[in-house]
Amino acid sequence: MIGRLAELASARPDDVAFADVMSARTFRLLHDDGCALAAQLEPGALVAALLPSGVPFTTLQLAALEAGATFFPLPPDATATELRHAFALARPDLVVLGADGKGGDALEDALAEATPHAAFGERLPGHAARAGLDAAMVQLTSGSTGRPKGVLLTARALEAGVGDAAPFAEALAGRALFSPMPQYHAMGGALVLEHLLHGVGVHVEARFVPGDDLRRMLEARVALLAGPPAYFRTLLRLGLFRKELPGLRALLLGSAAAERELLTGLREALPAASLHLRYGLSETFGSLTRADVEAGAPLPERGFVGRPLGSVHLAPLPTLAEPAVELRAAGPTVAEASLHAEGRRELRDVEGFFPTGDVAHGDEGGVHLRGRSSEMIKRFGFRVDPSEIEQLLVGHPSVRDAVVLPVPDPLAGSAIVACVDAPPNAESELRARCVEHLGPRKRPQRFVFPETFPRTPAGKPDRAALRRLLEPSPATASPASSTERASP
């Protein structure tokens, strides 16, 4: 991987390769710093990084790849409990903290035995290579249960993912990308390597500060803005796209299908920009599919995520006229195993495919997602796709996010509950919107408006926390239809 960077360092030594809010590195400096740090790492060692998005994170990741070590990115604000869960999956041989030592107290509490650790910028202490994971990276993910697992991604997976991105990224070589996604997150980390190693200058932000984001985008003349749908919804609502962004030519949304209302809003705000929808999972490096919508082209229908990328193979999918089935993926970017508290678990089925948990159709245009197989709601014997309801609710101007979940119902099997990040007084309009656009079986029976809408570190709605919020207490009976103001 660092060989690609060496070529860029030779061809464009003084161009900005990577920048955070504090500092920037040219291709030559980033390459030289990565090689120097690699000399301090043991091949095969598991190197945990408690680093925010930025120059230190990227330098250490490149160094680990060059040294043949295994890179283990962790949230820099992880609690001692969260670190204990992570270290139960794989014990790191070395831990690197931010230069300010943030996270050190939690780390000390989480380590039951001495593990070498140091702040980035210090001489790294000596360490053994005990883990022997035969992986280039362990991608931590909470999954649907809230308990972490560590996806094992090989060097071959990373190389293939970077290669799959070439047709898109190479067209932006010499230009700049801005990403607010945390680099320890699967999408945020992949975005950096996919574009950096094809000559795109990458600018990252460790936290969402809209005004500062806009300033940095203007200064760097950003050509590509990438992030989750929630980020773009926020920028639209704040009116930031009304400012002049002269270099912006493309918007990249991930890591699942974006609702039609959001795409319409982006098209209206930036009619000259192309839209690109990427779909991927923590169990893969980079995207499985991508839909490229040029400026002025018709917007895709709900759930469309485009064609599989070059190295990706998908199991056959039924047509739109047939019942949807679970999407299964194979190829070098797809992980073969993950680490759990109980041990290593193979991820692929007997045919060599990874079951994604997403239900989909397929046609000559590509893949059409229809929700999560584990999240489909069965009511009166009918299957209801919660994502259809969620996207309808998010299309209302007062709704920042929505998650639709089932709760047990003795008569119907499940009742549909909409957890909405919006003022409670929006309920009547939301019910009317559902009546207008949804059949009777799909309409929520209850609306819940949490005082603080729970989110994951990546900014996505925390479905596990919302499920816990809906669990009935022994003293509380759940009415068939109600509005609730809830505290998580």
pLDDT digits (tens, 9 = 90+) for 251-308: 999 866 677 888 999 999 999 999 999 999 999 999 999 999 999 999 998 889 999 9
What is d(CA 60, CA 156) in angstroms, rounded to the nearest whole number? 19
Task: Indicate whether 328 and 307 sit together in one domain.
Answer: yes
User: In a 3-state reduction of DSSP, which class is residue 178?
Assistant: strand
β-bridge pairing 16-19 and 70-73 = unpaired
Task: Indicate whether 165 and 307 sit together in one domain.
Answer: yes
Task: Indicate whether 74 and 101 sit together in one domain.
Answer: yes
Q: Which helix (H) or strand (E) holds 232?
A: helix 229-238
Task: Indicate whether 231 and 301 sit together in one domain.
Answer: yes
Structural domain containing residue 46: 2-134
Task: Indicate whether 342 and 394 sit together in one domain.
Answer: no
pLDDT digits (tens, 9 = 90+) for 205-242: 987 777 788 889 999 999 999 998 878 888 888 888 87
- Of 305, 339, 372, the residue that ends a domain is 372
- Of 320, 338, 372, the residue that ends a domain is 372
Taking alpha carbons only, the member of 297, 61, 24 closest to residue 183 is 61
Task: Indicate whether 368 and 395 sit together in one domain.
Answer: no
Task: Indicate whether 171 and 287 sit together in one domain.
Answer: yes
Task: Indicate whether 340 and 387 sit together in one domain.
Answer: no
- Of 345, 372, 399, the residue that ends a domain is 372
Total domain count, the chain: 3
Tell me how far CA of residue 59 lies from CA of 29, 37, 69, 135, 178, in angstroms.
10, 8, 13, 18, 18
The DSSP annotation for 113-175 comes to: S---EEEBTBPPPP---------SEEEEE-TTTSS-EEEEE-HHHHHHHHHHTHHHHGGGTTS
**pTM summary value:** 0.80
pLDDT digits (tens, 9 = 90+) for 197-211: 999 999 999 877 777
What is d(CA 185, CA 163) in angstroms, rounded to the nearest whole number? 20
Q: What is the CATH number of the domain that holds 37?
A: 3.40.50.980
pLDDT digits (tens, 9 = 90+) for 366-396: 999 987 776 778 787 667 878 889 989 998 9
In the prediction, which pLDDT does 256 show?
Answer: 64
What lies within 8 Å, CB to CB, of 451 at 6+ separation is 485, 486, 487, 488
What is d(CA 119, CA 125) in angstroms, rounded to the nearest whole number? 10
Q: Is the dihedral of CA 292, 296, 297, 303 positive or negative?
A: positive
Task: Indicate whether 387 and 364 sit together in one domain.
Answer: no
Q: Is the dihedral of CA 203, 207, 209, 210 positive or negative?
A: positive
Task: Indicate whether 277 and 316 sit together in one domain.
Answer: yes
Asked whether residue 108 is assigned to any structural domain, the reply reads: yes
Task: Indicate whether 311 and 338 sit together in one domain.
Answer: yes
Q: What is the CATH number of the domain that holds 267?
A: 3.40.50.12780
Task: Indicate whether 448 and 384 sit together in one domain.
Answer: yes
